[in-house]
Amino acid sequence: MRERERTKRMNNFILYITSIILTFSYVQSLTVWPKPATTTNSGEIYQLSDQERNFDFKATGYVSNTLDEAFERYNGIIFRRNNMLQKARNLNSKIVLDEDSIINGVDVNVLTNDLSLTLETDQAYTLSIGSPRVQISAQTVYGAMYGLETFSQLISREGFVNGTKITDKPRFQFRSSMIDTARHWLPLETIFAHLDAMAYNKMNVLHWHIVDSQSFPYCSYTFPTLCEEGAYTQTHLYHREDVQQVIDYATNRGIRVIPEFDTPGHVQQGLITIKNLLTPCYDTKTGKPDGTTGPLNPTLDSTYNFLTQFYAEIKDVFPDKFVHVGGDEVSFACWQSNPEITKFMKAHPNITTYAELESYYEVQLLEILKKQNTSYIIWQEIFDNGVDILPDTVVDVWKGGGWEAEMGRVTSAGFHSVLSAPFYLNYISYGLDWTTYYSVEPTNFTCPTDGPCDKSLVGGVEQCMWAEFVDATNFLPRVWPRASAVAERGWSQENVRDLVEAQVRIQEFRCKLIERGIPAEPIANGGSGGEFSYCDQEWQPTYRTPWN
């Protein structure tokens, strides 16, 4: 008996020691992506209540549907990521911290009822992890959701979490992802998954390059032929209800949806069905139309009538105050070939070059938007061409060569800039490339010699996934986690740039994305050289054969 008692005690002691070691090993490595502004660790270890039903999310400030739905999501993320916590809870039954260390819920204090999403939206939050309640406080529900996201990342698979106080806010207000649904169409499921991944990365703008010359999947209720004739097929469409679903899904996650209808270039499919809109190109030898079309015809009233009606609809369908009007890469060859355009320029002596003709077009377009009280983001060419733009205009700097100088010129002129140029993720290469995006510093430019510039006008960063070679088969693993590098550059403080430290966190974060259903691809070689890029829980594909 004595022997048995001694063995039992020894076993209990071993269990106790093991539990402490295990507990620490569960908790020690958990990190947040993108990295918060300030984090302090109390040294305490807490444990989530081991039953999902004994854990609750409570609004202690302003309530909203947005917050309620966020509670639903984070309950799932914390307790049901692929049922792994279910397994973990069995483990927990062996390692239970004392009652003082149990967390039974989260109190979320939203201090205002402002549900708007703009460049000025307050996105800051504070998070205090302790027992029995975690405390999150924020000016807006969107800040509060970022607090929930941070908290969710800190909980180990077994339900342990460090005592942590975090004060956090984004460095840049505008952290965007551009998707292109014209070169290849994307199903709504893929867009939804992408929006979730953006929320996990605290990104807040979906720049939806929805149409282009290749196809026009946006179904306009004013001009139904645009998608009826301009989409690849009548299954490659975004009806108004589809667009509304994307907007709702995004808004619920603090993400603005800014559509781009690029003009006067990058146009063909769909718009070709509108009479007198695209410029007919002429064969320079025969002097006759050659059957092709070029950019919008800037010389006709019908063009501006179309734009007035079309943008009135866009204002109705998309709630954001901003649209992206494009304006990049306008080819002049077709305008040059067209005798009507030549005649128009002769009749307007102040338009002597095609760049001036392009500016003439943009002036009219922006005047229409001004009258409709719509603000605009522009690709940099419109700014470069000296078009008169409204003070709240955001200039999207995309040209790879010399973006630093351009950032200087834009901010020196007093406009907000968004930096896309170094973040074109459609360019791929063998090997690790997230470090390239991560190492960019958006404020690393000198102001022009002719004037000062205000670096606080750097509005943010935007990763672009142009869809030349991307569709639903490969979109998500190609974007994630490479875009996470851009997300942290946009959110975290300027001094967060240690690649070795970031490597550990982004690797951990990739596995969290996989647990949440996002097929984020590996960003490091397998186990060699001390790097471990496998995940404890790997991606679980579902393969549906045609015969089963």
Alpha-carbon separation of residue 490 from 171, 206, 257, 509 (angstroms) = 6, 14, 18, 16
Q: If binding is defined by CB under 8 A, does position 56 make contact with its own copies?
A: no
Give least dist CB 152 to its own copies, A.
Answer: 10
Q: Please identify, among the stretches 33-41, 71-79, 322-330, 389-397, the one whose residues bind its own copies according to the rule CB under 8 A.
A: 71-79
Amino acid symbol at 332: F
Q: Which of 6, 58, 80, 94 binds its own copies (CB under 8 A)?
A: 80
Helix (H) or strand (E) holding 290: strand 289-296
Please list every residue from 268 through 287 that binds its own copies, using CB under 8 A: 269
Binding status of residue 99 toward its own copies by CB under 8 A? no
Q: Is 400 in the site for its own copies (CB under 8 A)?
A: no
> 34: cis peptide before it, omega within 30°?
yes
Ordered DSSP codes for 140-193 = SHHHHHHHHHHHHHHS-TTSEEEEEEEEE--SSSEEEEEEETTTS---HHHHHH
In DSSP terms, 289 is beta-bridged to 282
Residues 296-315 that bind its own copies (CB under 8 A): none
| Region from 70-78, 94-102, 320-328, 379-387 binding its own copies, contact rule CB under 8 A | 70-78
C-beta of 269: minimal distance to its own copies in Å? 7
CA distance from start to end of the chain: 60
Nearer to its own copies, 3 or 536 (CB): 536
- Cα separation of 257 and 263, whole Å? 19
Nearest to 213 by CA among 46, 386, 329: 329
Question: Could you say which residues in the range 106-165 bind its own copies, by CB under 8 A?
Answer: none
Interface of this chain with its own copies, residues 422 to 461, rule: CB under 8 A: 426-432
ω before 298 within 30° of 0 (cis)?
no
- The reply to whether 329 belongs to the active site is yes
Q: How far is the CB of 543 from its own copies (least distance, A)?
A: 5
Range 216-235, binding its own copies (CB under 8 A): 232-233, 235
Binding mask 481-520 for its own copies (x = CB under 8 A): ---------------------------------xxxx-xx
Give 72 or 367: the residue with its C-beta nearer to its own copies: 72
CA distances from 198 to 34, 76, 194, 254, 416 (A): 11, 17, 6, 10, 22
In the numeric block, the tokens 């460095």 are attached to: 171
In the set 63, 413, 472, 504, which binds its own copies (CB under 8 A)?
472
Q: Which of 179, 180, 185 is nearest to 234 (CA)?
A: 185
Pairing of strands 174-180, 56-59: unpaired
* Residue type (1 letter), 31: T
Instruction: Give the DSSP H/E element, type plus range, for residue 250.
Output: helix 240-251
In the set 72, 329, 367, 501, the catalytic residue is 329
Q: E strands of 54-124, at which residues? A: 56-59, 102-103, 105-110
Among 77, 243, 267, 483, binds its own copies (CB under 8 A): 77
Task: Considering the complex, state which of residue 72 and residue 283 has its C-beta at the smaller distance from its own copies.
Answer: 72
Q: Which residue has the tokens 């070679």?
A: 469
Q: Which amino acid is at 482?
A: R
- Rule CB under 8 A: say whether 470 interacts with its own copies: yes
Nearer to its own copies, 213 or 337 (CB): 213
- On the CB side of 383, CA atoms within 13 Å amount to 28
Which among 219-227, 270-278, 496-504, 529-537 is the span making contact with its own copies, rule CB under 8 A? 529-537
Binding of residue 184 to its own copies (CB under 8 A):
yes
* Pick 128 or 463: Cβ nearer its own copies: 463
d(CA 175, CA 312): 27
In the DSSP assignment, the letter for residue 432 is -
Rounded least distance, CB 120 to its own copies, Å? 30
Q: Is 291 in the site for its own copies (CB under 8 A)?
A: no
Compute the least distance from the CB of residue 301 to its own copies, in Å: 30
Point out which span in 218-226, 305-313, 319-327, 521-529 binds its own copies (CB under 8 A): 521-529
Listed residue (162, 78, 176, 203) closest to 512, CA to CA: 78
What's the distance, CA 293 to chain centroid?
34
Count of residues binding its own copies (CB under 8 A)? 75
| Kind and range of the H or E run holding 545 | none
> Measured from the CB atom, is 449 or 545 closer to its own copies?
545
- CA–CA distance, 150 with 479 (Å, rounded to integer): 21
Nearest to its own copies of 10, 428 (CB atom)? 428
Give me the least distance between CB of 295 and its own copies, in Å please: 15
Site string for its own copies, 349-388 (x = CB under 8 A): ----------------------------------------
Could you say whether residue 471 binds its own copies (CB under 8 A)? yes
Q: Is 269 helix (H, G, I), strand (E, B) or coil?
A: coil
String of contacts with its own copies for each residue 187-206, x by CB under 8 A? x-xx-xx--x----------
Does 473 interact with its own copies (rule: CB under 8 A)?
yes
The smaller minimum CB distance to its own copies, of residues 60 and 190, is found at: 190
Which residues are identified as catalytic? 329
